[in-house]
Amino acid sequence: MRIESSRYTERFGAIQLHDVQKVLELDSGRAKEGTPQEALAVLKIDEDTIKDHEERMAIVIPTKNEKLKLFEGVIAGVPHECLKIVVSNSERRKFDRFRMERDALAQYCRFTQRRALIVHQKDPRLGEALRAAGYPELLDDQGLVRDGKAEGMIVGMLLAKMIGKDYVGFIDADNYFPGSVWEYVRCYAAGFSLAETPYAMVRVLWRYKPKMSVHGLYFKKWGRVSQVTNRVMNTLLSHKMGFDTEIIKTGNAGEHAMTLKLAEILPYASGFAIEPQELLSLFEGYGGVLPAADPEVAQRGIEIFQIESRNPHLHEEKGVEHIHEMLLAGLGALYHSPLCEAETRELILEELQDQGALPAGEEPPKPQLYPPFAKADIKAFRRALEPHLDEHMIWPNK
């Protein structure tokens, strides 16, 4: 893979925020090829380096009632070396969609000699294991994991840690193109290969998001939600730095990955606020404005990469209400951040009202925050899940 070098890096306390790096070539050939003089503007990341990082990566696929055909395509797109972890909150009563997902995954793994793990978010044994691990915050009063994409992602990260992976990446299950999935994971691997700290994050920016218009297919660059979220987040940062910045281009990136070392020290927001909150938690904890959340981490530094894919992004369109829900959740997180001052708050209310997502005079909701999962006793989690693992783990020849 060939990508642009990072030409500009914004520094915010202990955080290095790299500007967008475009993918120039999906496959850059063998390791031995490549000329030394290109090293300045363009980086070549050879296949072995990509594979070395993919081997250490778990890919978490959160899913809830997505079309099985899309789910199958997504699992086919995840590179062979990664361990797939599916966390499903799909229907089990009228139709057992979870069973269909499990069967599809098992069949796929059998034919491709791959390993995977699949759990249902509402499995009571998962709830018990979380309690045993001392991480009951994720549970409702019945002892089951709460609904929500974020909650599924946290379960996935805990499983990745339990298995001993170094990196965890996320891929939505409603992606239409297996080739995009494949590229996103390569972007994660490329980002990690460039990181100089154990605390790194890679966020994918899609080149285009195709939309149907009256004139046919239109390749749009920016989605509505991401445009607004990025603008507000940049305003917030600009105020804190005293210089205007437009560095944030992936405030809402669902397709992103982290080193497990970084993943386990972040507080997470519930539901759809999780992605913007990850950045906010970093700015709050390590931006140098508030006291450092962990001085050792601050000392090692944190790197955030934003990599622009070649493949366009096409996923299920879930309607205007879903857009409002995403906007409210993300901007709600920003609004209630201790870093957010009056001017940015005003801007948030204006944006939400403009989009018709919030009536005048109301405030966006404050997201619920889950504590970092570093505190969870991962051995106790494993011990509690171990007797059931056979049912959840799909290994080849099984």
- Residue 14 or residue 158: which is nearer to ligand GDP going by CB? 158
Out of 121, 234, 270, 309, point to the residue binding ligand GDP (CB under 6 A): 121
Decide if residue 285 touches ligand GDP (CB under 6 A).
no
Residue of minimal Cβ distance to Co ion: 315
| Shortest Cβ 254–ligand GDP spacing (Å) | 5
Decide if residue 66 touches ligand GDP (CB under 6 A).
yes
Out of 13, 62, 73, 251, point to the residue binding ligand GDP (CB under 6 A): 62
Contact 273, 329 (CB under 8 A): yes
Window 164 to 203, contacts with ligand GDP (CB under 6 A): 172-174
DSSP 14-35: TEEEEPPEEEEES----TT---
Helical packing angle, 224-241 and 319-335, nearest 10°? 10
Tokens encoding 74? 């997504």
| Shortest Cβ 65–ligand GDP spacing (Å) | 7
Out of 318, 366, 375, 383, point to the residue binding ligand GDP (CB under 6 A): 318
* Listed ranges 34-42, 63-71, 194-202, 332-340: which one lies at the site for ligand GDP (CB under 6 A): 63-71
Decide if residue 85 touches ligand GDP (CB under 6 A).
no
| Shortest Cβ 149–ligand GDP spacing (Å) | 4
Decide if residue 315 touches ligand GDP (CB under 6 A).
yes
* Listed ranges 2-10, 58-66, 258-266, 304-312: which one lies at the site for ligand GDP (CB under 6 A): 58-66
Contact 334, 348 (CB under 8 A): yes
Decide if residue 101 touches ligand GDP (CB under 6 A).
no
CA 368 – CA 269 distance, rounded (Å): 6
CA 52 – CA 185 distance, rounded (Å): 13
Window 319 to 348, contacts with ligand GDP (CB under 6 A): 322, 326
Contact 221, 249 (CB under 8 A): no
Q: Is 343 helix (H, G, I), strand (E, B) or coil?
A: helix
In the complex, the residues that contact Co ion under the rule CB under 5 A are 172, 174, 315
Decide if residue 204 touches ligand GDP (CB under 6 A).
no
DSSP 268-279: EESGGGHHHHHH
For residues 114-147, b (16+ Cβ closer than 10 Å) or e, as one string?
bebbbbbbbbeebbbbbbbbebebbbeeeebbbe
Q: Is 43 helix (H, G, I), strand (E, B) or coil?
A: strand
Residues at the contact surface with ligand GDP, assessed by CB under 6 A: 62-64, 66, 87-89, 121, 147-149, 152, 172-174, 254, 315-316, 318, 322, 326
